[in-house]
């Protein structure tokens, strides 16, 4: 027990133990995540339904989705993909969660192709537009972002557009380091009760990054989950995109497409392949 608690509270190197699969592919957690996705009022897994509608509306206005091919990375159960399809796009959706992809496929949308896969690995399907929405870019280390941006650049034609959003650096100030121990931590989110959840939060001010490290202890098993989140500035993310060969416009409001204000929690970038 001493060694376990020592590991829980020992601050790891930045983005050590990076593993998105531990969060998205566990059968129970994926079921809970799908429930959160489908709750149209919840912002835990995706934006509330009205905000998704608003974002897709202005993207359609800016990009003209009708007749375009679009690859939605981290598509989940297809909440954005369904709206892209309704706007006339031919959509390919990729997500690690088998449960979410099964739900997306069950909607029976024509001209859509939903696939189980990890977009952090392998080629990105060719498309006129590639999307990475709701801060997924913030959950990966810089070298993974660089690799992904290069593969997205290769998947797009000249003039193709990469759409992504990110949590703003100013959000980092709201976090504090802490350790929490609770029975059925987060109300049964991590496992079927009963279980115990231990959570240690670490801050990396120089990188405006937060790690929530979890130890989930059930009767028959224990497992670790590392949930990383880097809060970024538009200039920082634009520089990384330009290094991959994109031309990047100014930061935009994720819900309206208007110019982003620095008091807003998230911003959107439209990066064009040149």
Residue 14 belongs to a domain: no
Using one digit for the tens of pLDDT, what is the confidence trace for 93-119?
A: 999 999 999 999 999 999 899 999 999
Note down the domain range covering 66: 27-170+233-273
Give the phi and the psi of residue 97 in degrees, each rounded to 5: -85, 110
Residue 166 belongs to a domain: yes
Token pair in block for residue 37: 């996705």
How much is the pTM? 0.95
Asked if residues 32 and 189 have their Cβ atoms less than 8 Å apart, the reply is yes
Q: What percent of the chain has pLDDT over 70?
A: 100
Query: In angstroms, what is the C-alpha Rg of the chain?
Result: 19
| Burial grade of 65 (CB within 10 A; 0-12, 13-18, 19 or more) | buried
Nearest to 251 by CA among 241, 225, 152: 241
Strands 69-73 and 161-167: unpaired
Please work out, in degrees rounded to the nearest 5, the angle formed at the alpha carbon of residue 38 by the alpha carbons of 184 and 129: 120
Strand partners for 215 = 198, 224
Number of CB atoms found within 10 A of residue 92's CB: 22
Residue 69 belongs to a domain: yes
Residue 175 belongs to a domain: no
3-state helix, strand, coil in the chain (%, to 5): 35, 25, 35
Q: How many separate domains does the chain show? A: 1
Question: Mean pLDDT, to the nearest integer, of 48-64?
Answer: 97
Using one digit for the tens of pLDDT, what is the confidence trace for 228-249?
A: 999 999 999 999 999 999 999 9
Nearest to 83 by CA among 117, 119, 46, 116: 46
Residue 117 belongs to a domain: yes
Residue 55 belongs to a domain: yes
Q: How many residues does the chain have?
A: 274
Question: Mean pLDDT, to the nearest integer, of 79-85?
Answer: 98
Residue 58 belongs to a domain: yes
Instruction: Please tell me the distance from the alpha carbon of residue 128 to that of residue 81, in angstroms, as a whole number.
Output: 15
Structure confidence at residue 84 (pLDDT): 98
Lowest mean pLDDT among 63-67, 119-123, 188-192, 230-234: 119-123
Strands 129-132 and 246-248: unpaired
Residue 6 belongs to a domain: no
Instruction: Please tell me the distance from the alpha carbon of residue 98 to that of residue 118, in angstroms, as a whole number.
Output: 11
Strand partners for 2 = none
Asked if residues 34 and 77 have their Cβ atoms less than 8 Å apart, the reply is yes
Structure confidence at residue 24 (pLDDT): 76
CATH number of the domain where residue 152 is located: 3.40.50.150
CA count, 13 A, side-chain hemisphere, 220: 3
| Cα-to-chain-centroid distance, residue 136 | 2
């Amino acid at each position: 027990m001493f060694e376990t608690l020592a590991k829980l509270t020992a601050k790891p190197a930045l983005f050590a133990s990076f593993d998105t699969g531990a969060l998205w592919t566990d059968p129970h957690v994926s079921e809970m995540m799908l429930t959160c996705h489908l709750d149209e009022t919840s912002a835990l897994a995706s934006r509330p339904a009205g905000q998704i509608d608003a974002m897709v509306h202005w993207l359609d206005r800016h990009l003209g989705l009708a007749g375009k091919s679009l690859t939605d990375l981290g598509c989940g159960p297809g909440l954005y993909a369904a709206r892209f399809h309704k706007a006339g796009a031919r959509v390919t959706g990729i997500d690690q969660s088998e449960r979410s992809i099964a739900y997306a496929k069950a909607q029976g949308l024509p001209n859509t192709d939903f696939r189980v896969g990890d977009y952090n690995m392998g080629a990105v399907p060719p498309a006129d537009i590639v999307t990475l929405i709701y801060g997924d870019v913030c959950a990966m280390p810089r070298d993974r972002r660089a690799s992904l941006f290069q593969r997205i650049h290769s998947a797009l034609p000249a003039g193709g557009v990469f759409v992504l959003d990110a949590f703003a650096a100013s959000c980092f100030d709201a976090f504090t380091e802490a350790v929490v121990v609770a029975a059925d931590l987060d109300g049964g989110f991590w496992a079927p009760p009963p279980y115990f959840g231990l959570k240690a939060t670490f801050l990396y001010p120089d990188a405006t990054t937060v790690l929530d490290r979890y130890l989930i202890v059930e009767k028959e098993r224990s497992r670790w989950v590392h949930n990383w989140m880097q809060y970024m500035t538009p200039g920082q993310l634009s520089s990384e995109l330009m290094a991959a060969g994109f031309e990047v416009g100014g930061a935009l409001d994720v819900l309206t497409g208007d110019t982003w204000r620095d008091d807003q929690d998230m911003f959107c970038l439209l990066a064009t392949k040149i």
